[in-house]
Amino acid sequence: MYKIAVLPGDGTGPEVVAEGLKVLDAVSEKYGIKYEKIHYDLGGEKYKKTGEILPESVLKELRTVDSIFLGAIGHPDVKPGILEKGLLLKLRFSLEQYINLRPVKLYPGVWTPIKDKGPESIDFVFVRENNEGLYVGEGEFIDKGTPDEVAVQVSRNTRRGIDKCLKYAFEFTRKRNKRKQLTLVGKTNVLTYAFDLWERAFNEMGEKEYPDIKRDYAHVDATCMWMIKNPEWFDVLVTDNMFGDIVTDLGAMIQGGMGIAAGGNINPKGVSMFEPIGGSAPKYTGQNVINPLAAICAGGMMLDILGETEASKKIEEAVMKVTPKLDSLSAGKMGYSTQEVGDLVVKEIVG
Ligand code: IPM
Ligand code: MN
């Protein structure tokens, strides 16, 4: 019996989470998976009412669950940064979810902005470091408010943190067994401290422990170029937190947009958290038009990490049968409502 914490969050989060759970229920029934859902009402609305973002008591409870299923965080009336730092990043850091796993896969029938590229060319995975880099929030203002003001923002990269992330990335590449190629995405020509360490750690670990994995390096700017020009070159890519944030939005766009992109915040030995990577889309709230496939795929990733491989595969197969039926993956342009898309996936699962 798994304990799953459900955090629907803000905006359209609750709508897509409902569809994700509908699909999880269907697949669990089929494969005999038992789980208990524990709902937590966190996010912008709660913050506005009570001033609370993530109470200590809730964080304590979240440490005891098997997994967390998150909708979206972000509220138009709350200043940017408050909920992101107080909830999403706080969870990623406190629960030591040091991996952010973001597959970029173009499903059948899905439109991509890249001309002449199809599903056979767009299928790779980003392993984004999720606990360090610029996201540690270290820095300072000097002479704030004066013409001489300086703002310093520090990227902290620890050998231990990098090694943990690289180990996951190498193991993942081996297990995926596609091209057995791991690309380190960095900026060794400018960030000569941070990516010097990343590169040394990458090569040392690869040489010693993963001789079967082909090592490859690309600067982050060139990576953006090649993701558009030759996406088929990539298999698994590993990078730091900030670059990973940026390149995975580009990745989401080439796989059909935020309606389909899912991510996992993973602590391989602890509590992981799965989310559709699009935001709370306040302007679409309550309209039943947003695409729930990203949330549904996040549920599939969750099952995979929990070790329910068959059930996870079944969700992906079902999604791949549904994508060709949709006019588009964009909100309001699917040809179906949010709930209907959930129903279509369920129908494929119960068959
Ligand atoms: C993401 C988001 C977050 C990030 C924000 C909301 C803090 O953009 O999950 O990619 O920057 O990591
Ligand atoms: Mn992002």
Q: For residue 163, give the 3-state DSSP assignment.
A: helix
**pLDDT tens per residue, range 206-246:** 999 999 999 999 999 999 999 999 999 999 999 999 999 99
Which residue has the least CA distance to atom 5 on ligand 1? 84
Which residue has the least CA distance to atom 6 on ligand 1? 84
**pLDDT tens per residue, range 77-129:** 999 999 999 999 999 999 999 999 999 999 999 999 999 999 999 999 999 99
Mean pLDDT value across residues 64-73: 97
Residues 126 and 152 in one domain: yes
Q: How confident is the model at residue 344 (pLDDT cuts 50, 70, 90)?
A: very high
What mean pLDDT, rounded, does the chain reach? 97
- CATH assignment at residue 54: 3.40.718.10
For residue 227, is it within any domain?
Answer: yes
Q: Which atom of ligand 1 is nearest to the CA of 84?
A: 7
- Cα dihedral across residues 339, 316, 98, 192: positive or negative: negative
Q: Which atom of ligand 1 is nearest to the CA of 241?
A: 12
The reported pTM is 0.97
For residue 104, is it within any domain?
Answer: no
Per the structure, the complete domain to which residue 224 belongs is given by 113-254
Residues 246 and 271 in one domain: no
Residues 121 and 190 in one domain: yes
Q: How big is the CA angle at 231 (ends 239 and 111), to the nearest 5 degrees?
A: 115
- Domain end residue (candidates: 197, 219, 254): 254
E-strand stretches of 114-235: 123-129, 133-142, 150-156, 181-186, 214-219
pLDDT confidence of residue 278: 86
Q: State the distance from the centre of ligand 2 to the C-alpha of 249, rounded, in angstroms.
A: 6
Residues 83 and 42 in one domain: yes
